[in-house]
């Protein structure tokens, strides 16, 4: 133990120099942090020095990225960008999980060294993040040196507390899931194609095998009461709430001490147990530590871990890894006397024609291919508008095309063109004269009703979307914005300002101007609120509207508060092809590999 303590002390200076420090943000709001002493529940107090910290899962590199990985990334990115829109300091972490038996086996199949295999696949995930315009602050890899040192130090702390012991372990192990399952979660299954009979997990349906070995264990059962007490005191910790019930049920019925190492004879690719090179640290213990590696663990000053972002404000994960993040991870944090993450957003999966995506079936969506075909912001929109939180969402090119035409091209894009391309009126003139006393205008009753409904919608829209973000439901947030645009199109069609503009009656002209200004305000406000979702398209929209770059924050999304826009910063275009949302072009596509390098191949294809 003394050797282990001394080794850890020697590592700290190296670790501190390796830490990633973020910081050119200006913080304008306070964030909460959690303090979790050994025998107390988490409490959150406001701290102006803590940035908002959001994470994606670190993605396993045994296979190429798919659309589900992009969905996790975009969800986290929208949450981060929303905080920045509100003037807050924010950090985002994504990256790759590179150790474990699955990676070792995948590398062996390619006849390459594990590290070389990880380098290649990790680059594909980083390429996906960059292509999808993900504003990550660090792309972490579990092969990074500072992460390795953080894992070793966490092991030292757990062992020093007497929470690690060596024992013989036997049970049903899934290589695919990288975990053991209790007997109660095992069933006999038969492959419908080969007729092979095998034992499988009832939770994931993946094959398991009986394993007997000597390894290290984490006394997780010693933390059972504290885990249950934490869940009880924080019933909304897991989103959606239905998965919180599953977590509590699992801890009550299935919690056991966790096997946290593997004999090196069975697993060589991973971080070795400190002072015992015959054992490799369990991949999930290794992987989960990444979230505090980013925040500076263990080089942070005790009690000031918030400066690096900890506790995380939200972990964004898929529903298939709930147990690891909502049971194993909080147990480790309790054992390490560290604050809990504030929320865990567990999203649902993507299917195709109601079936789980699978390479063997051939229904996996390549996200880089999809972005190259449909456009980056089109894919971000579709994932956010259709994606599931509580329930799985079905991916469909046909549906993507329909929603693009209805909500982006025919909705927001058409509304923008109507306002900025007209040869009848000038948007700058409409905006500059709109602050006149509206009480002097006689607005027809039917138009007034529609106008008042739209005004009420726009006044409440920023708060409504912000509330959805607080509930960790960006999907409903973007639907609220699109509903406001739809309402605006209905209003504009009803008000018909083009028919009033040239009439001799000054009141008719005034009604037309007021209707156009309200519609322009709807586009301006929607454009501001869409920036986290569609960063490129929303920026272009606001440029076309002539909105000052300094007036595009959340606090600027207030109805009738900006009379300075209307002079375009870039041309609004003159044809459908140069509009904000042009017709989808699918005849020039890139080869569906994950690389964006090289010239795109020309190929005539059907739209779907």
Backbone φ and ψ for 273, nearest 5 degrees, come out as -60, 130
Predicted model pTM: 0.84
User: Which of 72, 79, 67 is closest to 56 using CA atoms?
Assistant: 72
DSSP-based three-state secondary structure for 210: strand
Cβ pair 148, 217 in contact under 8 A = no
Cβ atoms within 10 Å, residue 74: 26
User: Which of 295, 300, 323, 276 is closest to 180 using CA atoms?
Assistant: 323
pLDDT one-digit tens code per residue, 100-115: 988 999 999 999 999 9
* pLDDT at position 592: 38
The string of DSSP codes covering 12-74 is HHHHHHH----------S-EEEEE--TTS--EEEEETTPPEEEEEEEEETTS---HHHHHHHH
> Among the listed ranges 139-153, 434-448, 563-577, which one has the minimum average pLDDT value?
434-448
What share of residues in the chain are helix, strand, coil (percent, to 5)? Answer: 50, 15, 35
* pLDDT exceeds 50 at position 6: no
The predicted model gives 490-513 an average pLDDT of 91
* pLDDT at position 170: 65
The rounded distance, in Å, linking the Cα atoms of 280 and 59 is: 20
pLDDT one-digit tens code per residue, 404-454: 999 999 999 999 999 999 999 999 999 998 876 777 889 999 999 999 999
Cβ atoms within 10 Å, residue 310: 25
* pLDDT at position 590: 39
What the block records as the tokens of 58 is: 């670190």
User: Which of 343, 348, 377 is closest to 478 using CA atoms?
Assistant: 377
* pLDDT exceeds 90 at position 519: yes
Q: What is the percentage of the chain residues whose pLDDT exceeds 70?
A: 83
Cβ pair 263, 212 in contact under 8 A = no
User: Which of 327, 345, 388, 385 is closest to 240 using CA atoms?
Assistant: 345
User: Which residues lie closer than 8 Å to 260 by C-beta, 6 or more apart?
Assistant: 164, 215, 216, 217, 218, 281, 282, 285
Backbone φ and ψ for 454, nearest 5 degrees, come out as -70, -40
What residues pair up with 536 in beta bridges, in sequence order?
none
Per the model's pLDDT, the better-predicted residue between 35 and 521 turns out to be 521
What residues pair up with 222 in beta bridges, in sequence order?
none
DSSP-based three-state secondary structure for 362: coil
* pLDDT at position 200: 72
The rounded distance, in Å, linking the Cα atoms of 462 and 410 is: 23
- The CA–CA distances, whole Å, from 564 to 68, 524, 606 equal 42, 12, 45
* pLDDT at position 213: 80
Cβ pair 335, 29 in contact under 8 A = no
| Residue 253, H or E segment | helix 241-254
CA 524 to chain centre: 25
Backbone φ and ψ for 73, nearest 5 degrees, come out as -60, -45
CA 165 to chain centre: 37
User: Which of 370, 332, 325 is closest to 154 using CA atoms?
Assistant: 332
Mean pLDDT, rounded, of the chain: 86
Cβ pair 342, 314 in contact under 8 A = yes
What domains lie within the chain, and their CATH numbers? 2-13+51-370 (3.40.50.620), 407-573 (1.10.730.10)
pLDDT band, residue 30 (cuts 50/70/90): very low
Cβ atoms within 10 Å, residue 86: 18
What the block records as the tokens of 93 is: 């972490």
The rounded distance, in Å, linking the Cα atoms of 398 and 209 is: 41
Tell me 264's DSSP state.
Answer: T
Cβ pair 540, 580 in contact under 8 A = yes
User: Which of 58, 101, 60 is closest to 261 using CA atoms?
Assistant: 101
The predicted model gives 201-221 an average pLDDT of 80
User: Which residues lie closer than 8 Å to 605 by C-beta, 6 or more apart?
Assistant: 586, 587, 589
Backbone φ and ψ for 508, nearest 5 degrees, come out as -60, -45
Cβ atoms within 10 Å, residue 467: 14
Tell me 259's DSSP state.
Answer: E
């Amino acid at each position: 133990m003394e050797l282990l303590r001394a080794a850890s002390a020697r590592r700290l200076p190296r670790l501190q120099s390796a830490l990633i420090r973020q910081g050119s943000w200006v913080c304008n709001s306070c964030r909460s942090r959690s303090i979790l002493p050994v025998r107390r529940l988490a409490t959150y107090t406001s701290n102006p020095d803590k940035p908002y910290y959001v994470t994606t899962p670190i993605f396993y590199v045994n296979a190429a990225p798919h659309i589900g990985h992009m969905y996790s990334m975009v969800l986290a990115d929208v949450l981060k960008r929303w905080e920045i829109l509100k003037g807050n300091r924010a950090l985002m972490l994504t990256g790759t999980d590179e150790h474990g038996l699955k990676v070792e086996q995948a590398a062996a199949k390619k006849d390459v060294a594990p590290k070389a295999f990880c380098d290649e696949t990790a680059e594909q995930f980083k390429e996906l993040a960059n292509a999808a315009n993900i504003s990550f602050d660090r792309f972490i890899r579990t092969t990074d040196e500072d992460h390795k040192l953080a894992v070793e130090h966490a092991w030292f702390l757990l062992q020093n507390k007497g929470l690690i012991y060596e024992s013989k372990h036997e049970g049903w192990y899934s290589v695919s899931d990288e975990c053991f399952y209790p007997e109660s979660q095992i069933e006999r299954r038969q492959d419908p194609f080969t007729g092979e009979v095998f034992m499988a997990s009832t939770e994931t349906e993946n094959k398991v095998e009986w394993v007997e070995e000597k390894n290290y264990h984490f006394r997780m059962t010693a933390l059972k009461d504290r885990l249950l007490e934490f869940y009880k005191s924080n019933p909304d910790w897991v989103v959606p709430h239905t998965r919180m019930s599953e977590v509590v049920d699992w801890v009550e019925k299935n919690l056991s001490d966790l096997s946290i190492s593997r004999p090196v004879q069975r697993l060589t690719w991973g971080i070795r147990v400190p002072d015992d090179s015959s054992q490799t640290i369990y991949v999930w213990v290794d992987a989960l530590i990444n979230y505090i590696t980013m925040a500076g663990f263990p080089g942070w000053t005790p009690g000031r871990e918030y400066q690096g972002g900890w506790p995380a404000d939200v972990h964004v994960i898929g529903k298939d890894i709930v147990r690891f993040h909502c049971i194993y991870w909080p147990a480790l944090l309790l054992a390490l006397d560290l604050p809990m993450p504030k929320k865990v957003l567990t999203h649902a999966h993507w299917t195709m024609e109601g079936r789980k995506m699978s390479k063997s079936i051939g229904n996996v969506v390549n996200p880089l291919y999809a972005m190259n075909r449909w456009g980056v912001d089109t894919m971000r929109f579709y994932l956010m508008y259709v994606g599931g939180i509580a329930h799985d969402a079905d991916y469909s090119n046909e549906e993507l095309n329909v929603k693009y035409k209805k909500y982006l091209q025919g909705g927001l894009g058409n509304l923008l063109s109507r306002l900025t391309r007209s040869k009848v009126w000038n948007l700058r003139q409409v905006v500059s004269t709109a602050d006149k006393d509206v009480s002097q205008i006689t607005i027809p009753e039917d138009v007034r009703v529609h106008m008042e409904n739209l005004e009420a919608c726009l006044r409440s829209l920023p708060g409504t979307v912000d509330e959805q973000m607080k509930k960790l439901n960006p999907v409903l947030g973007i639907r609220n914005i699109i509903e406001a645009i739809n309402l605006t199109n209905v209003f504009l069609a009803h008000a018909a300002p083009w028919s009033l503009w040239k009439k001799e009656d000054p009141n008719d002209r005034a009604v037309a101007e007021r209707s156009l200004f309200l519609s322009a305000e709807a586009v301006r406000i929607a454009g501001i609120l869409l920036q986290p979702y569609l960063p490129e398209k929303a920026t272009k929209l606001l440029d076309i509207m002539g909105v000052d770059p300094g007036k595009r924050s959340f606090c600027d999304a207030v109805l009738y508060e900006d009379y300075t826009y209307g002079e375009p910063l870039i041309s609004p275009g003159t044809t459908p092809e140069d509009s904000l949302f042009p017709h989808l072009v699918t005849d020039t596509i890139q080869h569906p590999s994950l690389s964006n390098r090289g010239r795109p191949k020309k190929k005539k294809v059907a739209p779907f």
